[in-house]
A and B are shown apart, each in its own frame.
Chain A
């Protein structure tokens, strides 16, 4: 390994730093890229993701908006429609519900309604997920909702490297992209290449190869699934872990190919179990030839059928954890489901 490659390999950033680096690279390269959101200027954003960017690029490009999610998202849509590339940060993904009209009725549909004569290259960033003690209205995982909307692209990076590459890919994309960032991952460090690169949208990544069962997960659940897989390896159960990365479009091929080899599928996600990502992936397997390769029922592991609770024990119990993934995977491997 030469010196340059060594530097590259050693280069580590946190997930939040990687996102910030992507925004800075894009803003340096393209004057039409602007940031919008609540308290993203001197405050640096609720999770410090935009820290110091206002000093570098000024308040005209790092715009603090009023607390007006519907209006703010709509301004970003209108700006995208007319030549800018706005990145709009929802302070919490939960607040996107205030802006559903602009995201779903406008951003997602404008190109289609106008017969391809319009383009809305807006990027929505959405801090997401539980584990922060912030209770029911600041902890949800609603990414699957947007998987139901043609016209949107929906991403969920699990590593600092992907967080940067996906944001740069989203900015290069002519259609609206929603990126769900997990709040508990912001401080996670990992290797991040320097300079500009893109992570392909719509391509899952096999994070661990295995032959006994397939675990499909996204975002923080990838790390929990990998830890569970290591524990299971000690008992001779060899799990493959697929990082979904993109919910819309979804990479059926990688999932189906894995299921054909392992014969067992488990889907782990932080959203409420019912009507979620697990249902979509299970159905895709059931509708394909991979169904014939199944040696056991498909298993879904999602959040409890309840709002995210406040009490820390309840909160942990409400979403999949390493222990529950490990136990469920063991049952699946032993065909005890």
Chain B
């Protein structure tokens, strides 16, 4: 009898090239966020944005088994989801720069970034807005006889919206192929989950909807990948929805207006020692998927992609102001 495979879930489940690609996309997410932040500081991007630095494992590990026909709904903190689902960072930067070449032709910006062709139905400016929409996408898959699952990303803040209750209840009643992924970063803007949420963990609420609920270390790539793998298998088998709670942390403030008066420096620094990218990279090296030179090359490639993306965005044309009402309705 063969010895049990004690390697982490991701290492024993995914081929090395997929793992290396996942690491690259995690670097891309972080470098994208840093590039967006830098461009904002330089005045190249206006408005606001919600950065997901520190949450890269949650986005990427969740998307490991999704195809382009599987759908995700995303949140206001959605740049990472978009990249993890396969979007091109050049077109994303172009959107943030408000350019015609952006994913939304400059009409949506950071809070509505989407890539329908890779199954990303869009970030959402309304907390909880994507929850019922995800259930609807799962209903379409069922009705149209497609094997697709829908992953619904939402934050801990959304778990106190009425839409959360209505969406999870309907998904369970109809046994729809949807996986609810809560990225619990501890704070809905400035209000901690302890002050806003009656249960200790968001996943505790799953019992009220008769679905499995599991809380995992959201900075542990394998822990997230395994929990989502089980939930997707259940959804594809027709057994209904699940709730996966990824406990994580955002290193940056809620948005550009955040003066960080509700978190301590110590708390932030403590979480930064649990860097999901460094942990995943160390795991890949420890299990021989990668050596240090390979890791350096992946990071360099991600940095190059981000630089090229920003250059593409800068060089892209702005929308024509005479087309301000274009896309309100379908074009004949």
Residues of A within 8 A of B (CB): 32, 34, 60-61, 65-66, 68, 70-84, 86, 101-102, 105-106, 110-119, 150-151, 153, 173-175
In Å, the complex CA distance between A26 and B190 comes to 49
Q: 19 interchain pairs (CB within 8 A)?
A: A68-B166, A68-B170, A70-B166, A71-B167, A74-B132, A74-B136, A75-B136, A77-B136, A78-B133, A80-B136, A81-B136, A82-B136, A101-B126, A102-B133, A113-B107, A114-B114, A115-B104, A115-B107, A115-B327
Residue B106 at the A interface, CB < 8 A?
A: yes
Closest approach, in angstroms, between the C-beta of A108 and any C-beta of chain B?
A: 9
Does B16 count as interface, using CB distance less than 8 angstroms?
Answer: no
| Cβ of B299 to closest chain A Cβ, rounded Å | 32
Interchain CB contact under 8 A, A78 and B104: no
Chain B nearest Cβ from A62, distance in angstroms: 12
* B105, CB-defined interface residue at 8 Å: yes
Given A68-B169, A110-B122, A118-B116, CB of A78 within 8 Å of CB of B139: yes
| B259 on the A face (CB < 8 A) | no
Is B240's beta carbon under 8 Å from chain A?
no
Contact-size category for B: 35 or more
B126 touches A105 (CB 8 A): yes
Q: Are B328 and A79 in contact (CB under 8 A)?
A: no
A32→B139 contact, CB < 8 A = no
CA distance A80 to B106 in the complex (A): 24
User: Is A115's CB under 8 angstroms from B135's CB?
Assistant: no
Does any Cβ of A come within 8 Å of B269's Cβ? no
Find out whether the CB atom of A84 lies under 8 angstroms from the CB atom of B143: yes
A174 to B331, CA, bound (A): 10
Q: How far is the CA of A116 from the CA of B331 in the complex (A)?
A: 9
- Report the Cα distance A337→B204, complex, angstroms: 66
Q: Does the CB pair B140–A83 fall under 8 Å?
A: yes
Please indicate the chain B residues that have their CB under 8 angstroms from the CB of A60 in the complex: 143
Q: B166 touching A66 by the CB < 8 A rule? A: yes
Residue of B105, B162, B167 touching A116 (CB-CB under 8 A):
B105
The reply on B22 being an interface residue by CB < 8 A is no
Residues in B146-202 with C-beta less than 8 Å from chain A: 162-163, 165-167, 169-170, 173
Query: Is A34 within 8 A of B143, CB to CB?
Result: yes
Q: Which B residues are CB-close (under 8 A) to A34?
A: 143
Contact A66 B139 (CB under 8 A): no
Q: A82-B141, A84-B139, A113-B104 are in contact. Are A75 and B170 (CB under 8 A)?
A: yes
Is B129 within 8 A of A101, CB to CB? yes
Measured CB to CB, the nearest residue on chain B to A81 is B121
The 9 closest A-B pairs by CB, nearest first: A78-B136, A74-B132, A71-B166, A115-B105, A78-B133, A115-B104, A82-B140, A79-B136, A68-B166
Q: Are B163 and A175 in contact (CB under 8 A)?
A: no
Q: Quote the shortest CB–CB distance from A109 to chain B (angstroms).
A: 8
Determine the chain B residues whose CB is within 8 A of the CB of A116 once the complex forms.
105, 326-327, 331
Closest Cβ of chain B: how far from A106's Cβ, in Å?
A: 6
- Contact between A78 and B141 (Cβ–Cβ < 8 Å)? no
Q: Closest CB-CB distance, A57 to chain B, in whole Å?
A: 12
A76 and B136 CA atoms in complex are apart in Å by 6
Residue pair B328, A114 in contact (C-beta under 8 Å): no
With A74-B163, A82-B141 as known contacts, state yes or no: A114 contacts B136, CB within 8 Å: no
Q: Is the CB of A79 within 8 A of B107?
A: no
Q: Contacts A78-B137, A113-B108 given; indicate if A175 touches B132 (C-beta within 8 A).
A: no
Contact residue among A66, A112, A113 (Cβ-Cβ distance under 8 Å from B170): A66
Report A-chain residues with C-beta under 8 Å of the C-beta of B144.
Answer: 32, 83-84
Contact of B108 among A70, A73, A115, A153 (CB under 8 A): A115
Chain A residue with Cβ nearest B169? A66
Q: A71's closest neighbor in chain B, by CB?
A: B166
A77→B331 CA distance, assembly (Å): 20
| Chain A residue, CB-CB nearest to B143 | A84
- In the complex with contacts A101-B129, A118-B114, A150-B141 CB distance below 8 A: no
Say yes or no: B131 contacts A74, CB within 8 Å. yes
**Would you call B137 and A82 a contact (CB within 8 A)?**
yes
